[in-house]
């Protein structure tokens, strides 16, 4: 039976969201995430919503989240990339060989330049692989599905061929910091400094948006809505940092840090929080950059124009073939950054690294609202999609559900998300 009071409240919430210019679909994802987290916390006996698990969850999500931001551009432009997991694997193996076999001959082990050269080699290789695939798609006209499916097989084989299947370890000590863990965090104090910088960035973004609206004579948000957006964003930042700092370092690690800094050790033990993990910082920086590229640059506008109507984009003078190459170059670079995070987290490079990541990345983008028909997608949605997938995997692992059933659940969630997206777009007339 229809409840007029409930309908009135729903309309009121929708009007509030419109006034604050919040994405209703993203709000729905956040709500679904909250329900899933609470449910998993109940099923795990309170082990899911703990600082330790949330810290690990943030680190585990980072690699897929970075690639998912690039997959948004690929899918928006009406392409697909099935090779991202294999690219991650081969780049990780090459970077592993560079820092364990090649550079030590000239620089020795753990040289300050080792990690810089290694990351540069990985980014260069990722750009090269992405560029080659993009050139075949854009200029030779081979469908991206076929090109990247071939790439999946080629680069997975190349990952094994690089060291004939041998795992590469140990990696450079500085390089390992990019994987998180005890050494790969900002620490308590620096995390709060980063939080303060992020809050200043939020305030600047809101004020700058108002200035631009005035400049171009666009409708302005109510000041209360701008204030509410700032407060919500700041609370989210402060809450996240507080949770990361609430996860203490192991006792021995804390003692070593205290001894090195000349700090006294209290009788009850020393509490030093982990702080924000470096992989999470990388994700945040990539998210900001990719959002700016999507919303504020000519490149981003061209990509969405290509996806919305390819024929009209070509007729308007957009070089869609060159744009296709650059989209895949960007995807390759992001695969390289994800490769840094993934191999550093494991402190080794194995030829099977990144297996099935292509499915997780595509699922994250699609669950986050990127339309497979092209032209629609958001960076934040893809990151939330990656977090949702990893939350389900982490939660089911804590419950004790086996891997096969985890895959079934993730697959069902993907299908459900696409169906709900289609229903939502039909209702809003898109």
pLDDT at 1: 45
Q: What share of the chain in percent tops pLDDT 70?
A: 89
**Ramachandran category for residue 224: left, alpha or beta (phi over 0 → left; psi -120 to 50 → alpha):** alpha
Q: 7-19: per-residue pLDDT in tens?
A: 555 555 556 666 6
The answer to the question of residue 32 being in a domain is no
Write the DSSP assignment of 77-108 as a string of letters. TT---S-HHHHHHHHHHHHHHIIIIITHHHH-
Choose the final residue of a domain: 255, 271, 287: 271
The SS3 call for residue 23 is: coil
Instruction: Supply the CATH number for residue 366's domain.
Output: 1.10.3470
Residue 331 in domain? yes
Instruction: Single out the residue in 271, 306, 327 at which a domain terminates.
Output: 271
Rounded CA separation 93/355 (Å): 13
Residues 373 and 319 grouped into a single domain: yes
Distance CA 41, CA 354 (A): 28
Same domain, 234 and 292: no
148 vs 308, which has greater pLDDT? 148
> Is 110 among the domain residues?
yes
Quick one: pLDDT band at residue 148, thresholds 50, 70, 90?
A: very high
- What distance in Å separates the CA atoms of residue 32 and residue 18, rounded to the nearest whole number? 20
Q: Please indicate, yes or no, whether residues 165 and 287 belong to a single structural domain of this protein.
A: yes
User: Residue 258's pLDDT is what?
Assistant: 65
What lies within 8 Å, CB to CB, of 137 at 6+ separation is 79, 143, 144, 147, 324, 328
Among 242, 271, 300, residue at a domain's last position: 271
Which residue has better confidence, 337 or 257? 337
pLDDT tens-digit series, residues 325-334? 999 999 999 9
Q: Are residues 145 and 159 in the same domain?
A: yes
pLDDT tens readout for residues 84-137: 999 999 999 999 999 999 999 999 888 999 999 999 999 999 999 999 999 999
Same domain, 218 and 267: yes
Same domain flag for 97 and 113? yes
**What are residue 349's phi and psi, to 5 degrees?**
-125, 120
Residue 212 placed within a domain: yes
Same-domain check for residues 154 and 67? yes
- 307 in the same domain as 424: yes
Number of domains in the chain: 2
User: What are the tens digits of pLDDT across the range 197-232?
Assistant: 999 999 999 888 888 888 877 787 788 888 888 999
Residue 39 lies in a domain: no
pLDDT at 411 (0 to 100) = 84
Average pLDDT, the chain: 87
**Confidence at residue 3, expressed as pLDDT on a 0 to 100 scale:** 57
- The per-residue pLDDT for 174 is 93
Q: Is 71:365 a contact under the CB 8 Å cutoff?
A: yes
User: Which range marks the domain in which residue 112 is found?
Assistant: 60-184+277-428
What are the tokens at 254?
């804390």
Characterize 174-209 residue by residue with b for buried, 16 or more Cβ atoms within 10 angstroms of its Cβ, and e for exposed: bbbbbbbbeebbbbbeebbebbeebbeebeeebeeb
**If you count them, how many residues does the chain have?**
430
Alpha-carbon torsion 118, 119, 124, 125, what sign?
A: positive
Task: Answer for the pair 273, 245: CB distance below 8 angstroms, yes or no.
Answer: yes
CB atoms within 10 A of CB 37: 18
305 and 371, same structural domain? Answer: yes
- The per-residue pLDDT for 68 is 96
pLDDT band per the 50, 70, 90 thresholds, residue 317: confident
Residues 290 and 421 placed together within one structural domain of the fold: yes
């Amino acid at each position: 039976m229809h409840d007029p009071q409930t309908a009135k409240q729903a309309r009121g919430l929708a009007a509030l969201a419109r006034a604050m210019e919040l994405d209703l679909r993203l709000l729905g994802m956040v709500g679904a995430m909250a329900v899933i987290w609470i449910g998993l916390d109940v099923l795990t006996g309170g082990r899911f919503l703990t600082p330790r698990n949330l810290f690990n969850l943030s680190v585990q999500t980072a690699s897929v989240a970075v690639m998912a931001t690039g997959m948004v551009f690929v899918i928006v432009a009406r392409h697909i990339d099935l090779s991202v997991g294999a690219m991650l694997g081969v780049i990780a193996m090459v970077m592993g060989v560079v820092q364990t076999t090649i550079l030590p001959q000239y620089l020795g082990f753990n040289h300050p330049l080792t990690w810089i050269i290694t990351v540069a080699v990985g980014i260069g290789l990722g750009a090269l692989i992405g560029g080659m695939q993009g050139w075949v798609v854009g200029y030779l006209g081979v469908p991206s599905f076929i090109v990247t499916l071939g790439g999946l097989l080629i680069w997975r084989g190349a990952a094994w061929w690089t060291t004939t299947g041998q795992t590469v370890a140990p990696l450079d000590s500085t390089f390992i910091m990019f994987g998180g863990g005890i050494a790969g965090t900002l620490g308590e104090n620096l995390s709060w400094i980063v939080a303060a910088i992020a809050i200043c960035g939020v305030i600047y973004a809101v004020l700058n948006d108002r200035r631009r609206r005035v400049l171009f004579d666009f409708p302005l948000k109510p000041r209360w809505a701008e204030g509410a957006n700032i407060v919500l964003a700041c609370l989210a930042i402060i809450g996240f940092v507080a949770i990361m700092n609430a996860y203490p370092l192991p006792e021995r690690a804390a003692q070593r840090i205290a001894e090195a800094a000349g700090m006294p050790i209290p009788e009850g033990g020393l509490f030093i929080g982990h702080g924000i993990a470096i992989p999470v910082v990388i994700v945040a920086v990539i998210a900001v950059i990719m959002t700016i590229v999507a919303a504020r640059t000519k490149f981003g506008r061209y990509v969405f124009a290509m996806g919305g109507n390819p024929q009209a984009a070509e007729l308007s003078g957009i070089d869609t073939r060159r744009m296709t190459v650059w989209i895949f170059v960007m995807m390759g670079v992001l695969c390289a950054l994800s490769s840094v995070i993934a191999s550093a987290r494991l402190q080794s490079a194995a030829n099977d690294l990144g297996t099935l990541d292509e499915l997780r990345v595509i699922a994250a983008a699609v669950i986050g609202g990127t339309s497979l028909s092209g032209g629609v997608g958001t960076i934040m949605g893809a990151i939330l999609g990656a977090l949702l997938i990893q939350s389900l995997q982490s939660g089911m692992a804590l419950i004790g559900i086996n891997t096969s059933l985890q895959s079934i659940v993730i697959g069902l969630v993907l299908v459900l998300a696409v169906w709900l997206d289609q229903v939502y777009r039909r209702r809003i007339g898109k």
